[in-house]
Amino acid sequence: KIYFCHAYSAWERGSNENFNKLLREFIPKGISLHHFTDEEVIEATKSINLRVREVNDYQSAEEIYQKMKN
């Protein structure tokens, strides 16, 4: 399914807002990605994807991906 949200309605995009919060631990708001090396961005992505989340029944995105791939 595809869901459409209204602009400036963060409460309609809960998981998206949660991801943004996780991303801000590594890349502060207002800072361009040009300030980071490819390796730093890859490490931040890996760290986020390996984090277990309640919304995923306490599995990481990587675990879910591996299960779907096999």
Q: What is the pLDDT along the chain (70 residues), one digit of tens a residue?
A: 777 888 878 777 777 778 888 889 998 989 998 999 999 999 999 999 999 998 889 999 999 999 999 8
Q: How many helices, marked H, and strands, marked E, lie in the chain?
A: 3, 2
Per-residue pLDDT reduced to its tens digit, 22-41: 889 998 989 998 999 999 99
What are the structural domain ranges in the chain? 10-69
Q: Could you give the count of Cα atoms lying within 13 Å of 68 in the half-sphere of its Cβ?
A: 7
If one counts every other C-beta atom within 10 angstroms of the C-beta of residue 37, the result is: 8
> What does the alpha-carbon distance between residue 3 and residue 21 come to, in Å, rounded to a whole number?
21
Structure-token match 């502060």, residue found: 28
Q: What amino acid occupies position 13?
A: R
